[in-house]
Amino acid sequence: MGPLDVLWHLMNFFGPAVGVGVFAALLAKLLWWRDLKNVGWVRLSLWGAASSAVVLVVGLFIYGQDGKTGTYAAMVLACAIALWWAAFGPGRR
């Protein structure tokens, strides 16, 4: 496998994490626009995507393969918790 193939595999592996993180952050900014006025959507997207990526890697090690429904369900849950923490938790700026 060449370097370009490795890059494509990594992009396809982490693509769902980035997509869920960005989409969830944009929805949060639309739904709670008054409360999240001072919280940037990039910060929310990074929190959501990072937590989702960690869950994808852990799911890969637990199940031994990618694409399990349990991993994706845990990814959505982790993204929601991370967004809550970044938006409304004690570390809010």
Closest-CA residue to 87 (of 34, 12, 17, 10): 34
pLDDT digits (tens, 9 = 90+) for 25-55: 999 999 998 888 888 889 999 999 999 999 9
Domain positions in the chain are 3-88
Instruction: Output the pTM of the full model.
Output: 0.89
Supply the DSSP symbol for 33: T
User: Do 48 and 79 form a contact (C-beta atoms < 8 A)?
Assistant: yes
pLDDT digits (tens, 9 = 90+) for 68-91: 999 999 999 999 999 999 888 886
41-80: burial string, b at 16+ Cβ within 10 Å, e else: eeebbbbbbbbbbebbeebeeeeeeeeeeebbebbeebbe
